Amino acid sequence: MTTTLATAPFRIAPEALPEGVAPAQRPQAARIHAIGIGDPAAPAAIAVLRQRRTSEMAVVIGWHANGHGTALAEGVLAFAEAESIRLLRATPDQPEAIADLALTDTARGYAQRWIGPEVVSQYETGQYRQSTGFTCGPVSLCMAMAPEVSRSEEIAIWREATSIVSLTGPGGCDPYGLALSCAKRGFDVTVYFDATDAVLVDRASTEEKKGIIRFVQAEFREQAQASLPIIPTAITPEQLTEAVRTGAQVILLIDQCHTHDHHAPHWILIHAERDGLFLVNDPWSEPEDGEGIADIDCTPTTLENLMLMGAYGDPAYHGALILRRAG
C-alpha cells in the first residue's frame, strides 16, 4: 500500500548512497543525480538519473520506490523542472520508473516524458552507435539517410571520406571528404568551414603521415569547391537555427570535451528544433559512463551548448554540413 509523504525532492551525494545504488561520479563526465524524498536522514525512496553535461535530458538508471512510486515520481518531476531538464527517459530494465513516471514507449528502445513542449523531428532518423573510434562522421551521415544503419555502409563511407592517419592508426573524416560522400548519396550539401589549411594534422605521428593528410584533404577540397557551395566562415547561431527550422539536417563538428572528459574531434547529427531546443543524434556512447542508445538518440540540446561544442582545435575552427534532400 502506498503511503502519502512529503514529495519535496532533495539531492543525495552519490557517495552517501548504499553501495551499488548509483555509479561513481567521474570528473567531467555525465552527471549523476541522486534524488530522495521523505526524511533526508533516512530517505523513503530514491531515484538515480544520468545526464550528459550538454543535454537537457536525464535517463533514469535507478528507481528505489519502496512502495512510494507516486510520491517519488512527483519528486523527480519537481527536481527536473527545477533543473531545467526537459525530457525524462528510462529503458525497459526500469519498468517501475516507466510506470510511476507515466513514460510513453517510443519503439526506439526507451520510454520518455517531455516536461514542456515536445520537440518533434520530421525525420525517421537512424539509430546506431559507431562501431569504431573514428567513424562518427559516416555514422552521422548514415543516420541522416535512413532509419536502418548498417556497418557495411558505415565503413564504406569512411573508406571514401577519410583523410586522416592518426597516432594509433586509422582516423576520421574532414568536412570536405564527408561533404562529398553526402552529395554522392543524394543530398544537396552546403559546407560551412573556416579553416584555410589542412586540419587534424596534429593527430598524425610522423611527417610522412602529415603529408598524406595534407595531400588527401587538398584533393577533397578541390573536388568540393568544384561541385558544392562552400561558405568559408563558421556557421552562426541564426544560420544553424534557420537551416533546421526549414527542414535541413546538419552534421556538426564538435569537440567532445564538452560531453566527455577529453578533447577529440567528433561529428554529430542535428535534425529538429523548437524554441531554441534541438534534437541531436550522437554516434558515440561512453562505455565508462554506462551510456546506451537512450543517452544518445534524439537528445534535446540548447543552441548555446551546440555553439559551445561546435569549435575544435587551437586556434579553433568550425565545420558544419547542411543537408537537404535533393529535389
Contact 305, 258 (CB under 8 A): yes
3-state DSSP helix/strand/coil percent for the chain, to nearest 5? 30, 25, 40
| H-run or E-run covering 124 | none
Q: What is the CATH number of the domain that holds 221?
A: 3.90.70.10
96 shares its domain with 189: no
Whether 20 maps to a domain, the answer reads: yes
Of the three residues 80, 114, 148, the one that is the final residue of a domain is: 114
At a CB cut-off of 8 Å and minimum separation 6, what does 121 contact?
Answer: 271, 272, 279, 298
Of the three residues 52, 80, 114, the one that is the final residue of a domain is: 114
At a CB cut-off of 8 Å and minimum separation 6, what does 84 contact?
Answer: 56
CA triple 299-84-93, angle to 5 deg: 50
Alpha-carbon span 176 to 228, nearest angstrom: 10
266 shares its domain with 145: yes
31 shares its domain with 149: no
Whether 88 maps to a domain, the answer reads: yes
67 shares its domain with 161: no
Alpha-carbon span 295 to 89, nearest angstrom: 9
Whether 119 maps to a domain, the answer reads: no
Whether 1 maps to a domain, the answer reads: no
Domain coverage including residue 28: 10-114
Alpha-carbon span 11 to 46, nearest angstrom: 10
What SS3 class is residue 64? strand
Alpha-carbon span 215 to 93, nearest angstrom: 49
156 shares its domain with 16: no
213 shares its domain with 154: yes
276 shares its domain with 146: yes
Number of domains composing the chain: 2
Per-residue pLDDT of the chain (327 residues; tens, 9 = 90+): 445 577 789 999 877 887 877 777 777 788 999 999 999 989 999 999 999 999 999 999 999 999 999 999 999 999 999 999 999 999 999 999 999 999 999 999 999 999 999 999 999 999 999 999 899 999 999 999 989 999 999 999 999 998 766 555 567 899 999 999 999 999 999 999 999 888 888 777 788 888 888 898 999 999 999 999 999 999 999 999 999 999 999 999 999 988 877 888 999 999 999 999 999 999 999 888 889 999 999 999 999 999 999 999 888 999 999 999 976
96 shares its domain with 181: no
Q: What is the CATH number of the domain that holds 110?
A: 3.40.630
In the 3-class helix/strand/coil scheme, how is 189-250 assigned residue by residue?
A: EEEEECCCCCCCHHHCCCHHHHHHHHHHHHHHHHHHHHHCCEECCCCCHHHHHHHHHCCCEE
176 shares its domain with 308: yes
140 shares its domain with 98: no
148 shares its domain with 297: yes
Whether 128 maps to a domain, the answer reads: no
Whether 47 maps to a domain, the answer reads: yes
Whether 126 maps to a domain, the answer reads: no
Whether 21 maps to a domain, the answer reads: yes
Q: Is the peptide bond before 287 cis (omega within 30 degrees of 0)?
A: no
Classify burial at 53, counting beta carbons within 10 Å of its beta carbon; exposed 0-12, middle 13-18, buried 19 or more.
middle
> What's the predicted TM-score (pTM) here?
0.94
252 shares its domain with 164: yes
Q: What is the pLDDT of residues 24-58, one digit of tens each?
A: 777 778 899 999 999 998 999 999 999 999 999 99
